[in-house]
Amino acid sequence: MKCLVCNAIHEQNVCPRCGFPVVEIPGDYEAGLKALQPTVAKYRNDFAKKINVALVVHNYDYDNDLEYMGEEKLPFGNAGALMSAEKWLDVKFINVLSRKTFPVTLNVSVEGQPDYILTLEINNLPSETIQVGISLDESFDFRLIFRDTSGNTVSSDAMPLLK
Ligand SMILES: [Zn+2]
């Protein structure tokens, strides 16, 4: 069974990922599904607000010798907000121009569940600095976006945000 809210495939009465119950639709399936849409949309919206996405960055101090200052999580916001609009971090990252692709790490936190990490590679842009953005669709598939100083962008492939 595929969950109507988050698309998880499961064989239980209630989705183990988002908690939405399996709904038996009597009679015409398409009409029943259509009638359910407002309920599904509201549940999806509420569930999405419980998911927070952050970019994991490693900070270095350039003042002295290169010193590792530790990891930081820069929040993109909750999945509900990301579904309604592309979100860009305010930070301009210094780019490593010799890299063809760039490894990116996201921290995903779903209320009531342990945080997990998603890693992906995104094509690099020939730009001194890079901004990082994210977009999320209603199936919980996200794309990571790089933007250079002239406004050119490059996106990753769509990837599932949820495990
Ligand atoms: Zn679900």
Burial of 47 (0-12, 13-18, 19+ CB in 10 A): buried
Domain boundaries, given as residue ranges, for the chain: 1-48, 51-160
**For residue 69, what are the contacts with CB-CB under 8 A and spacing of at least 6?**
59, 60, 61
- Scanning 22-156, the segments in alpha helix (DSSP H) are 29-48, 79-84
Tokens representing 92 are: 């301009």
pLDDT at 24: 84
Distance 121 CA to ligand 1 centre (A): 27
Distance 106 CA to ligand 1 centre (A): 21
Tokens representing 119 are: 């890693």
Distance 112 CA to ligand 1 centre (A): 14
How does strand 129-136 pair with strand 93-94? antiparallel
Radius of gyration of the chain (CA): 19
Whole-angstrom Cα distance, residue 157 to residue 142? 8
| Mean pLDDT over the full length of the chain | 92
Whole-angstrom Cα distance, residue 49 to residue 51? 5
Please write the tens of the pLDDT for every residue from 26-70: 889 899 989 999 999 999 999 999 999 999 998 777 776 777 878
Please write the tens of the pLDDT for every residue from 105-115: 999 999 999 99
Distance 22 CA to ligand 1 centre (A): 9
Distance 39 CA to ligand 1 centre (A): 13
For residue 122, the cross-strand partners are 102
pLDDT at 132: 96
Mean pLDDT value across residues 152-156 = 94
Distance 20 CA to ligand 1 centre (A): 5
